[in-house]
Structure 1
Amino acid sequence: MSLALATPHAEAAAPALAPREQETLRHIAAGRTYLQAARHMGLSKHTVDAYLRRIRAKLNINSTAELTRLAISLGL
């Protein structure tokens, strides 16, 4: 049930995410740690953390599971 609720919300929110935020979301949804995502993106772990905090704030998301559901619904 929550997945169905997340899909319309995610589609409406997709344009609100910057390209690097979308890339970060894709890495986290793939199961990478912040450090692994940072290495793949050529960034520091702190920058990845900042991107994820921004995503969570923009979309009112609190957990990694919700972030993963969002990434799936966006096709990332």
Structure 2
Amino acid sequence: MSPFATDTLNLLSDRELEVLGHLAEGHTYTSIARRMNLSPHTVDTYLRRIRGKAGVSNRAHLMLLALQATRLPEFGLTQV
């Protein structure tokens, strides 16, 4: 795990981490919205904020961050 990923994950709110965990499990925006009782627009907003905080520009990099987060028990995300 890179120090960058750990530092980035420390910037995220609990809800942003939850969304990131669902993304790492392979859920779509709509599926994440249903699971969290949110609108898809709200999920998109969370993911845009995560991308901004992480400085990533695309979904592929966001997925890499999500998968790395599942390997850190301190963030409470499940292993895929």
Q: TM-score range by the shorter chain?
A: 0.7 to 0.9
Distance 2:24 2:69 in 1: 11
More helix by share: 1
For residue 73 of structure 2, what is the aligned residue in structure 1?
Answer: none
1:18 is aligned to 2:13: yes
For residue 29 of structure 1, what is the aligned residue in structure 2?
Answer: 24
Q: How many residues align?
A: 71
Question: Contact 1:29–1:71 at 8 Å: present in 2 too?
Answer: yes
Q: TM-score, normalised by structure 1?
A: 0.83
Q: Which has the higher contact order (CA 8 A, sep 6+)?
A: 1
Shift of 1:9: 0.9
- Structure 1: 5+ residue runs without aligned partners? none
1:32 match: secondary structure: coil
Tell me which amino acid in the other structure corresponds to 1:32.
Answer: H
2:66 match: secondary structure: helix
Q: TM-score, normalised by structure 2?
A: 0.79
Shift of 1:11: 0.7
For residue 41 of structure 1, what is the aligned residue in structure 2?
Answer: 36
Identity in percent? 46
Shift of 1:52: 0.3
Query: After TM superposition, what 4+ stretches of structure 1 lie above 2 angstroms from structure 2?
Result: none
